[in-house]
A and B are shown apart, each in its own frame.
Chain A
């Protein structure tokens, strides 16, 4: 992948900022998401809450299902492959996907290695719980980062803790003297030049979205307040009582996250939210996959 391709792929993520990326499982849901103002959709066969319920091995979606969604909407279409599954990624690249999510929501295919994302022309987004994880993924070629949160729970607490950890790590690195960067890179287990970048610029070299447990407009606004560049919403929309209305409200809440009066209006009369589960109640913590 040339420098130019890396820039173009990071720049597409810049265009998504301030937006909401929604999980969709059919062309109809994709159209609801687009009409609500989503800046992209994530095409997958089962949303994370259903992946949890079904158990077993969760894999890349059928390309026919993804193509149906690509034909239904004009916004960017993303899709997930398993961590370390280079062949699934190659298949998604071959069908012209706009962004690949190498995602812990699917069952990892490689318990040690991630995909060598720098060898692809198509861009990748990866999950991270802290700065070290984010910089390892960027070192492998990811051009966008999202917090892992805990997908399919409807519980925002893990996304909050990952975003706070990331921002706190960044502030700490930015405060280091130049000769302290080497030890920081060792402790973060991250590429040295990327730690230098964070120290100099006080931010990640790529866009950082929030993901994993966002279920309400207030959840989405909270993640923006914590410094997210935008928000992924997985199960929160299409597991709720009125998906179209909730989707519109979350899009507006992200655009106007600091306007409390507007958030109050947006939170009004939304119908049933998804039934949440706490990470303490579940056996499988997806966030611990692929660190």
Chain B
């Protein structure tokens, strides 16, 4: 059985766990270094507030171990805040998050809550008509490496990318009933 560690410092981690459990994966929450040291085949970084999660990653001495593991090839899936934490740059400036994904991200890209929206679209490698929920969402300004494949766009903006075994979406597949993106991620393992 595949063992997925879910970063559970803040945000919608329970929703990812429910979806991964539906797909037959085993999940455990990471809130401390000792949680992090448990055996795992992959990591999920949920939606929530990226500043809140990053502050806690630092305070709990998790930032460097997680970053090293991702650079060593641990598959990782970040949604919304997760995409921001993985992004190397923000609006042309290097970020001090995990910075393992070679993209430049734009936070709160669509504006405040009143601008949050739901749509459907195609995701390369996943399929057509994938439901996409954007909550105070970011988008990707630009990719910074030829390794990064754009999987989805919305109105010309990049909303899902893959770089080797790193997957990131600006939207929230864990808030829908559609499991295809999580299945796609599990296929990396």
Contact = CB atoms under 8 A, between A and B. Distances in A.
Given A39-B10, A93-B114, A252-B59, A17 B48 contact: yes
A176 to B, nearest CB: 25
B47 A7 contact: no
A34 interface: yes
Interface residues of A, number: 37
A11 B60 CA distance: 27
B113 A76 contact: yes
A74 B80 CA distance: 14
Given A8-B135, A18-B9, A252 B56 contact: yes
A13 to B, nearest CB: 10
Nearest to A94: B114
B88 interface: no
Interface stretch (A51-59, A109-117, A234-242, A255-263): A255-263
B52 A74 contact: no
B55 A35 contact: yes
Interface string A1-41: 00010011101101111110000000000000011111110
B52 to A, nearest CB: 5
Contacts of A4: 118
A11 B111 contact: no
Contacts, number: 111
Given A8-B135, A12-B136, A40 B49 contact: yes
Interface in B141-186: 172, 175
A251 B55 contact: yes
B118 A19 contact: no
A38 B52 CA distance: 6
Interface in A105-162: 121-123
Nearest to B58: A37
Nearest to A248: B59
Contact of A8 (B32, B56, B133): B133
B10 A255 contact: yes
A96 interface: yes
Residue among B52, B107, B133, B175 facing the most chain A CB atoms (10 A cut-off): B52
Nearest to B46: A15
A35 to B, nearest CB: 7
A256 B11 CA distance: 13
A98 interface: yes
